Each structure stands twice: as C-alpha cells, then as structure tokens.
Amino acid sequence: MAGSDQEHTARQSASTRERLLESATRLFGERGIEATSLRALTDAAGSNIAAVNYHFGSKEGLLRAVVDQTMRAVNDERALRLDELESAARPMSIAALVRAFVEPGIGLVEGHGHRGSDVARFIGRVMSEPDARVRQIFAEQVEPVEGRYLAAFGRALPDLDEDGVRFVYTSMLGLLSVHQSGSFTTLWAPEEGSGTAASGLGIVDRERLVAFITGGILATLTARATTVP
C-alpha cells in the first residue's frame, strides 16, 4: 500500500487477475466451460496455470467471479426497473414487465464496450448450460431479483395458477437464453465468420423478442390448460 515495489507487484497481480477474467469470459463463451481447459485459459491470459488457483481458488471460483462481474450490472438494472414499475401506476402491464426484464439482458452488449459480444455470449452460454453446478452458481447470482420478478408476474397474472406463472416465466428465460446464446442459429449456419462466430450476436431484436414473449403469455391466458383425461 506504500512502497513502490509493492505497488509494482500489486499492479502486476491485479493485471493478471483482470486478464484471467477477460480470457475466461471469452473462452468460456466461445468453447463452453467444461471444454475450456485451465491451460488454454492461462495461455490466453499469458500466465501460469496455477495462477487461477491462486487468484480464484479453483476453476469454479473463476467462473463464479466471471458470472458475478458480468451479471451484476444486469441484476442491478432489472431491480431498478422493477422498482420503478412498482412505484408507478398500479396496473402493471405484462409488456412493461417483460420489457423490464429482457432489455437489461440484451443491454449486456452495450454495457461492456468492445467486450460486449464476449460478455453476451458468455451469459448466453451460462444460461443454457445443463451442468447442475454451473446452474447453481448462476442461480445464486440472479436468485434475489428473479424471485421478485416471479412474484410480480404472479400478481400481474392473477388468472394463472402457480404452475402457469412458472411456465410463462420459464418460457421467458428460455427465449432470452436461446436468442442470446445463438445456440440454434449455428445449426443451419455452422460457418459464418472464419475465426470467431461472434459477429452479429447480441444484436437481438428487442421488439421482436418482447412481442413474442408478451404475445405468448397473453395467449396462454386464454388457452385453458388441459388436465389429464
């Protein structure tokens, strides 16, 4: 905190940490979490393999740090926009609720400058990650805000039972995940760019997505659920 030598080493360590976070965001998003080896990661970051363990404890600790760094802004904005909706006019429209949740997610791209597409792809990847431990890490991060939104949807959709609310909420999450990660797009267009497959990602059409989700929810209201015959 005082000596110039200490500052030097401190800056070096901070820089290594930063580079590890950046590389992890990019590589986890591009190749997947499991598929990204610590060696490839530390090579890209220009550091030794053991640096991950030193700075983050483990690969999982690194993942947790990346999720925290990338999702914090989204969480905060979602919470803020829900605050606004709740303190405003009583009847909360479904469209407004959907928009308040979806737009901060899409906004990931703008919020991170040139790393925007990396960040968006990383989050899309994490959201569509089947591994239970990864899901857990993500859930811990977004749980508080998501809980508030789930409750808000419940109040805004009084005609739906608990299962129905969860259904539409899950649908919204799924759609956001799918369009953000671009998973299915690669099926019928495996080769787009040469090096990175990142180009157009994140430029999701907000209006289209909000319209689809809102329309889907409203349609669910009129269609009565078929119970077992």
Partner DNA sequence: GTCTATACGAAGATAGAC
Partner DNA sequence: GTCTATCTTCGTATAGAC
- In the complex, the residues that contact DNA under the rule CB under 7 A are 9-10, 12-13, 15-17, 36-40, 47-55, 58-60
Query: Least Å distance between CB 8 and a second copy?
Result: 40
Nearer to a second copy among residue 35 and residue 80 (C-beta):
35
Among DNA, a second copy, none, the one that 59 touches (CB under a kind-dependent 5 to 8 A) is DNA
Q: Which amino acid is at 135?
A: R
Residues 108 and 202: beta-carbon distance below 8 Å: yes
Q: Which of 89, 188, 193, 229 binds a second copy (CB under 8 A)?
A: 188
Nearer to a second copy among residue 52 and residue 213 (C-beta):
213
Rule CB under 8 A: is residue 39 a binding residue for a second copy? no
Q: Which residues of this protein are in contact with a second copy, per CB under 8 A?
A: 32, 34-35, 125, 128-132, 135-136, 139, 143, 146-147, 150, 164, 166-168, 170-171, 173-175, 177-179, 181, 183-188, 190, 205-208, 210-220, 222-226
